[in-house]
Structure 1
Amino acid sequence: MVNSRNCSRSRQTSPGEWRPGLSDLARYRVFVLGLGRSGVAASRFLLDAGSTVLGWDDSERVKQSAVVRQLKQAGLDVSRRSAAARVDLVVASPGIAGDHPILRQFARRGVPVVDELDLASLYIPGPLVCVTGTNGKSTTTALIAKMLSAAGQTVFCGGNIAPGRPLSAALRLRRRDWYVAEVSSFQLERARWLSPHVALILNITPDHLDRHGSLEEYAECKFRLIYRQRPDDFAILAWDDPLVRAARDRGHAKKLFFSDRRCVKGAYLKRGQIWFEREQVMPATDIRLHGRHNRLNALAALCAAKVIGVGNGPLRMVLRSFVGLPHRLETVRVLYGVEYVNNSMCTNPAAGARSLESFDRRVVLIAGGREKGLSPAEFADAIARRAEWVVLLGENRERMAQELRSRRFFRFELADGLRNAVKAAKSRARSGDVVLFSPGFASFDMFRDFADRGRRFRDEVRRLR
């Protein structure tokens, strides 16, 4: 096993690059914009470091929450007027875009704006593993953390993963051997310091174009994960994704790959067996997770664990036992021979298509939600090929109905509300079928977030008799 202590070396900055030391923070005035999960964690860390912390959130409910009240008692100054005050640094929550009026105000004054995860990465006391991509980030992040834990290492697992903790929360805990973080395009958009020892880019398909503007800009955000790596670091890339594979010449890290289509330098599938380099590790059929996309997630996680130094025993144990995270192809119950599967985390059309391909049984699909500037064509094509029946709900149900009709697929109905959608799916399913809740779009038309949507689906399924 790699001695993780040897990996926690200081990251050198380029000449002239500004980088605040931990002791510098005691002299800083920092404005935290957004007091949700990441903003609260950043505020706690900064207050502990002795910073003067000013904060704001556009939501009155958030500003009146118990956790923000506690932060105010610890010294946080919550006032929109503080946006006009002199500050040295702005920490913006990832969900807040650069055109927010307060951020534009600070930009005009030349105040640096960073993300909570990026700031925290400066002070993490051990080696950092970061996972990004359009789909599969959380599953792969959790697999790597479990593999390291199974090998006897202490691990902090966090970042963008939900449920989970922001990376800055780790700075208030005892030191771990390894830090494993999921990283989103929103977090990478403002990254100026992030430099993981091991970086993984799983896949890139169109997503969040309502914020990034184009697939090219979105991909560039993802590639920022590997730009500051050093020659003794590792970048693990998806060989089967042409857009990701094209990044093999970027950055200075050693490049490895994962693939289920060809033998590569890294982890791959060959004649039903999983290999790393020239070493046979285990049969692919031993992986508990559903679907090709999860097989690729497993290969990526295995590749990362192997370059770190994890032996085959812990890898096999984890891959044979890990059944997935909540809201990701999660079996809720089996009723009258019908399996009800919660895949509420499916928030883009490409993920919707992949989820349908995960089953070789008849699928009754529940889909629909709020669009994010993405074409639904790939999802609609997969539905027309693989779904037995579809129940459409949410903001874009009429749009999806039109897409299906244009493909001469008419086995669908529209539902008002999730309860009616679940009842409709039950009436169409027969023993041996899967009722798959895989929306393919964002949740904000009807729900607080994907987790709220998934919990509501679970509740409705458990009410069925």
Structure 2
Amino acid sequence: MKDLTKYEDQKILVLGLAKSGVSAARLLQKLGALVTVNDAKPFDENPDAQALLEDGIKVITGGHPLTLLDEGFEMIVKNPGIPYTNPIIKGALEKKIPIISEPELAFQVLSGELIGITGSNGKTTTTTLIQLMLEKNRPSGHAYLAGNIGIPATTVVQKVQSNDVMVTELSSFMLASITTLKPHIAVITNIFSNHLDWHGSRENYVRDKMHITKNQTAEDFLVINWDNPEWQQLSQQSKAQVVPFSRQGLSTQGAYQKGDFLYFRDEQIINVEDIKVPGVQNVENALAAIAVAKISGQSNEAIVSVLKTFGGVKHRVQYVESFAGRDFYNDSKATDIEATQVALRSFKKPVVLIAGGLDRGYTFERLEADFKVHVKAIVLVGETKNLLAETAKQAGVPTIEFATKVKDAVLKAFTLSAPGDVVLLSPANASWDQYPTFEVRGDEFIEAVKALESGEEG
């Protein structure tokens, strides 16, 4: 970590806690800043705030009072979940108080190399694959995992040395608040329409995603999905060297699929059948990771070893159990339509689908074709259950049922399934109508499956 002195004795507000806010506050304190943290959760229900107070950091909880802006803060480190429509953020912008994200703070003290990964779907799996590939047989230093994957960059950066690399998942929320952050290698897995309730429009969402490359130069690299004309066009915004990856073989200038094999430029790397995790989405994730690994000088042997053994990321088309002839998969991370489409297309077996969640104001006609081809029965939960039921009806899904929560849906889905079927949780919606995070939702699915298996065995 760099010995940064610019924040010594500066009054800095950390707005919003959770893991990233706590980590940012502790790093700023170490850098000599005069830190105040502000979180909406009441103090007696807020163990993070309590712990920070014990460590000598000023805490203000129970809301975001506008009077905070009168305290002369020289910078705000904003939790990624707090939108720019929040009154205190709007007030800070009017006062021209700089607002940055937690990964931006981490980058300012980073001694090693940054690899940044973003995208609507696939970024967590791609981030993990890249880290594993770059760590494999590494002659010196380490490849560290950080960011939106659940490990705050401001925690990881404190142990990163000059010969290390920090492989960092960056959400659109994080990228909206960067100023100097510059990955040596940036990856864009894809860009669909996501989080429009937060960003306000698709135009804003795409703009924030493209922030990942806005500070790059000709010495850097942008690895980008080439299988959509829009993404090809977006790559022209970058000053970095563009390295495409294409499952459709639309470019041979980077990583691509040709027949049954994946290549990097003219080198054959691996047979698709040898990739352990199923689905075309994981072919795309593998191509992106291959491109980064090859740019970084990694051997084909190390790349292949990872792809043959990596079993997938929790909550992303995660294999859970097989019993009574059924295979159970947890894809709780599928918080949008495209992710659920990808999950359904991963399976050749009939699927009993569990779906539904937060109503963000859109409908689900785009799922109709996949429902028609892949889904034999569907169990629906959450605010969007009726909207999804209408789409399932239009698709001709023969059995449509409802459940109160995911754990109830598991039992119904098992009852509706037969040996040889897949029972898949892939909600196509965010979790926040019933669960604080998609992880909690996915864990409930896993626990319900294991309880069901226990009962079946008993």
Q: TM-score range by the shorter chain?
A: over 0.9
Q: Within 1, Cα distance between the matches of 2:328 and 2:285?
A: 23
Do the aligned partners of 2:327 and 2:422 also contact (CA within 8 Å) in 1?
yes
| 1:311 maps onto 2:292 in alignment | no
Q: Mapping of 1:242-321 within 5 angstroms? A: 242-262=229-249, 263-321=251-309
Please give the secondary structure, in 2, of the residue aligned with 1:40: helix
Q: Within 2, Cα distance between the matches of 1:317 and 1:334?
A: 26
| 1:377 maps onto 2:353 in alignment | no
Aligned to 1:22: 4
Q: Within 1, Cα distance between the matches of 2:300 and 2:399?
A: 46
Aligned to 1:5: none
Do the aligned partners of 1:334 and 1:340 also contact (CA within 8 Å) in 2?
yes
1:74 positional shift: 2.1
Aligned to 2:57: 76
Match of 2:20 among 38, 41, 60: 38
Q: Which moved more, 1:326-335 or 1:357-366?
A: 326-335
Partner deviation per Cα, 1:78-129 (whole Å, 9 max, x = no partner): 1255443001000100000011121122122111111111121121111100
Aligned to 1:223: 210
Aligned to 2:158: 172
Do the aligned partners of 1:151 and 1:311 also contact (CA within 8 Å) in 2?
no
Q: Within 1, Cα distance between the matches of 2:91 and 2:419?
A: 59
1:410 positional shift: 4.1
User: Which 5+ residue runs of structure 2 have no aligned equivalent?
Assistant: none
> Which AA in structure 2 matches 1:117?
P
Do the aligned partners of 1:29 and 1:86 also contact (CA within 8 Å) in 2?
yes
| 1:450 maps onto 2:438 in alignment | yes
Please give the secondary structure, in 1, of the residue aligned with 2:305: helix
1:166 positional shift: 1.0
Q: Within 1, Cα distance between the matches of 2:215 and 2:160?
A: 27
Do the aligned partners of 1:119 and 1:193 also contact (CA within 8 Å) in 2?
no
Do the aligned partners of 2:354 and 2:378 also contact (CA within 8 Å) in 1?
yes
Aligned to 2:403: 415
> Which AA in structure 2 matches 1:65?
N
Q: Within 1, Cα distance between the matches of 2:388 and 2:115?
A: 38
Please give the secondary structure, in 2, of the residue aligned with 1:353: helix
Partner deviation per Cα, 1:343-368 (whole Å, 9 max, x = no partner): 11111011011100000011111111
Please give the secondary structure, in 1, of the residue aligned with 2:73: coil
Please give the secondary structure, in 2, of the residue aligned with 1:130: strand
> Which AA in structure 2 matches 1:321?
T
Aligned to 1:16: none
Please give the secondary structure, in 2, of the residue aligned with 1:200: strand
| 1:182 maps onto 2:164 in alignment | no
| 1:347 maps onto 2:328 in alignment | no
Aligned to 1:121: 107
Partner deviation per Cα, 1:270-294 (whole Å, 9 max, x = no partner): 1211110111112111111110011
Q: Within 2, Cα distance between the matches of 1:282 and 1:406?
A: 40
Please give the secondary structure, in 2, of the residue aligned with 1:26: coil
Q: Taking structure 2 as the reference length, what is the TM-score of the superposition?
A: 0.93
| 1:360 maps onto 2:348 in alignment | yes
Give the number of aligned pairs: 444
Q: Within 1, Cα distance between the matches of 2:193 and 2:235?
A: 20
Q: Which moved more, 1:215-224 or 1:130-139?
A: 215-224
Q: Within 1, Cα distance between the matches of 2:372 and 2:206?
A: 29
Partner deviation per Cα, 1:221-265 (whole Å, 9 max, x = no partner): 111111110111000010002222112211211110101111421
Aligned to 1:329: 317
1:174 positional shift: 4.9
Partner deviation per Cα, 1:16-54 (whole Å, 9 max, x = no partner): xxxxx9211113110010011111110010000000001
Please give the secondary structure, in 2, of the residue aligned with 1:24: coil
Do the aligned partners of 1:159 and 1:182 also contact (CA within 8 Å) in 2?
yes
Q: Mapping of 1:92-171 within 5 angstroms? A: 92-152=78-138, 153-161=141-149, 164-171=150-157
Q: Which moved more, 1:367-376 or 1:49-58?
A: 367-376
Do the aligned partners of 2:375 and 2:397 also contact (CA within 8 Å) in 1?
no
Q: 1:272 to 1:310 in 2, by over 3 A?
A: same
What RMSD over aligned residues (CA atoms) do the two structures have, in Å?
1.7
1:173 positional shift: 2.2
Aligned to 1:17: none
Please give the secondary structure, in 2, of the residue aligned with 1:224: helix
Q: Within 2, Cα distance between the matches of 1:308 and 1:37?
A: 30
1:407 positional shift: 3.7
> Which AA in structure 2 matches 1:46?
L
Partner deviation per Cα, 1:277-336 (whole Å, 9 max, x = no partner): 111112111111110011100000010010011011110100000011111111211111
Q: Mapping of 1:201-216 within 5 angstroms? A: 201-216=188-203
Q: Which moved more, 1:379-388 or 1:109-118?
A: 379-388
Partner deviation per Cα, 1:191-226 (whole Å, 9 max, x = no partner): 211110000001011110111222222111111111
Q: Taking structure 1 as the reference length, what is the TM-score of the superposition?
A: 0.92
Q: Within 2, Cα distance between the matches of 1:423 and 1:438?
A: 16
1:372 positional shift: 2.8
Q: Within 1, Cα distance between the matches of 2:299 and 2:363?
A: 42
Partner deviation per Cα, 1:170-189 (whole Å, 9 max, x = no partner): 23325261110000111111
> Which AA in structure 1 matches 2:115?
V
Partner deviation per Cα, 1:380-438 (whole Å, 9 max, x = no partner): 33112211111111111011112222344443111222232111111111111110011
Aligned to 1:14: none
> Which AA in structure 1 matches 2:195?
H
- The percent of aligned pairs where both chains have the same amino acid is 33
Q: Within 1, Cα distance between the matches of 2:295 and 2:309?
A: 22
Do the aligned partners of 1:208 and 1:373 also contact (CA within 8 Å) in 2?
no
Q: Within 2, Cα distance between the matches of 1:295 and 1:356?
A: 15
Q: Within 1, Cα distance between the matches of 2:306 and 2:443?
A: 26
Q: Which moved more, 1:398-407 or 1:42-51?
A: 398-407
